[in-house]
C-alpha cells in the first residue's frame, strides 16, 4: 500500500514539472506571435528567415498540443502514465486514498483536504469528456502523433482551446497538491495570459489579440532540467 501511495505522489510531481514546460511553450508562442503574426504586414526579411519562423512556430505549437493531451490522457492498461486519467483511476480506490491522506498527515505533518481530491476527479471528468479536449485530442492523434488519412476535415482548433486546457491543467495540479496538504506546493508559475486566435497544424496563425512579451520568464522555466522529487509519504 505504501508503494502505491508513493507512486501517486511521484506522478503528481511529474505533472508539476510538465506544467512548468507547458507554461514555457505557451510564453514562447505568445512572444513569437506578438512579434511575427502572419495577419500583420509581411516581415521585411528574406524568405528563408520567414520560413524558419513558421517552422519554429509549428514546432512549439506541436509540442504544446502534445503535452496538453499527454497530461490529460486517460488511464492506460500498462499503468505507466503520469497523467490525470491515471491518477484519477488510482484515487478511485477509497482504501488507497484514505491510506495516502492518513500517512501524509502522520508522516509529513501535512493537512490533506479530501474534498480537493474529489474536485480533481469531478473536474477531470468534465474536461476529458468536453468538446474542447476532443478537438485538441483529435488534432494531436490524427495529425501530430500519427499521420492518418481523414474521411472529413478535422474540427478547427483555436489557440484559445489550447490555452483554456492549459489553464485547467494548472488548476487541477493546484487542487491535487492542496488535496495532499501542499507539502511542498507546486513550483510552477501562476502567470497567466489568454491570447485569442485560430491556428492550424502547420503553425499558421489567422488572427489573435496582441499580448505582452513574457519570454524572459518562460525561458527560465524551460531551461530547468526537471528532476523527479522523491516526495514520499514515509520512508520504507
Query: Which cell numbers in the block locate residue 196?
Result: 485569442
Please report the pLDDT score of residue 183 as a whole number: 72
Percent of the chain scoring above 70 in pLDDT: 76
In 3D space, the residue among 151, 152, 158 whose CA is nearest the CA of residue 135 turns out to be: 158
Mean pLDDT, the chain, integer: 77
Exposure letters 123-147 (e unless 16+ CB within 10 A, then b): bbeebbeeebbebbbebbeebeeee
- In this prediction, residue 43 has a pLDDT band, given cuts at 50, 70 and 90, of low
* Mean pLDDT of the region 143-153: 85
DSSP strand pairing (157-158 vs 205-208): unpaired
In a domain, 187, yes or no: yes
* Mean pLDDT of the region 38-45: 59
Site of grid cell 495532499: 180
Please report the pLDDT score of residue 97 as a whole number: 92
In a domain, 182, yes or no: yes
In a domain, 42, yes or no: yes
* Cα distance between residue 54 and residue 50, in whole Å: 6
Rounded alpha-carbon distances, angstroms, from residue 90 to 4, 54, 128, 193: 9, 41, 16, 32
Please report the pLDDT score of residue 40 as a whole number: 53
* Mean pLDDT of the region 65-92: 94
In a domain, 229, yes or no: no
Q: Can you give the residue range of the structural domain that contains 90?
A: 2-223
- In this prediction, residue 37 has a pLDDT band, given cuts at 50, 70 and 90, of low
Inter-axis angle of helices 159-179 and 131-139, to 10 degrees? 110
In a domain, 217, yes or no: yes
In a domain, 232, yes or no: no
| Predicted confidence (pLDDT) per residue in 166-187, tens digit | 999 999 999 999 999 887 778 7
What total number of domains does the chain contain? 1
Please report the pLDDT score of residue 136 as a whole number: 95
CA torsion through residues 172, 175, 180, 186, sign: positive
Instruction: Record the pTM.
Output: 0.76
In a domain, 236, yes or no: no
* Cα distance between residue 10 and residue 214, in whole Å: 30
In a domain, 233, yes or no: no
- In this prediction, residue 192 has a pLDDT band, given cuts at 50, 70 and 90, of very low
Amino acid at each position: 500500500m505504501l508503494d502505491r501511495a508513493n507512486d501517486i505522489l511521484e506522478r503528481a510531481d511529474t505533472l508539476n514539472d510538465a506544467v512548468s514546460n507547458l507554461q514555457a511553450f505557451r510564453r514562447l508562442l505568445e512572444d513569437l506571435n506578438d512579434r511575427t503574426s502572419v495577419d500583420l504586414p509581411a516581415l521585411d526579411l528574406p524568405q528563408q528567415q520567414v520560413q524558419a519562423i513558421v517552422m519554429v512556430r509549428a514546432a512549439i505549437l506541436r509540442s504544446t498540443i502534445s503535452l496538453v493531451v499527454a497530461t490529460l490522457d486517460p488511464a492506460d492498461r500498462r499503468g505507466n502514465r503520469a497523467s490525470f486519467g491515471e491518477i484519477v483511476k488510482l484515487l478511485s480506490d477509497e482504501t488507497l486514498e484514505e491510506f495516502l491522506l492518513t500517512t501524509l498527515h502522520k508522516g509529513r505533518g501535512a493537512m490533506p483536504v479530501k474534498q480537493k481530491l474529489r474536485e480533481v476527479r469531478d473536474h477531470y471528468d468534465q474536461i476529458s469528456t468536453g468538446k474542447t479536449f476532443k478537438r485538441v485530442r483529435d488534432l494531436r492523434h490524427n495529425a501530430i502523433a500519427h499521420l492518418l488519412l481523414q474521411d472529413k476535415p478535422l474540427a478547427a482548433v483555436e489557440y484559445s482551446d489550447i490555452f483554456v486546457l492549459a489553464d485547467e491543467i494548472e488548476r487541477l495540479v493546484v487542487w491535487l497538491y492542496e488535496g495532499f496538504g501542499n507539502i511542498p506546493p507546486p513550483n510552477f508559475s501562476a502567470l497567466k495570459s489568454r491570447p485569442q486566435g485560430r491556428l492550424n497544424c502547420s503553425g499558421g496563425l489567422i488572427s489573435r489579440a496582441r499580448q505582452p512579451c513574457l519570454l524572459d520568464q518562460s525561458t527560465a522555466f524551460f531551461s530547468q532540467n526537471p528532476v523527479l522529487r522523491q516526495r514520499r509519504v514515509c520512508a520504507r
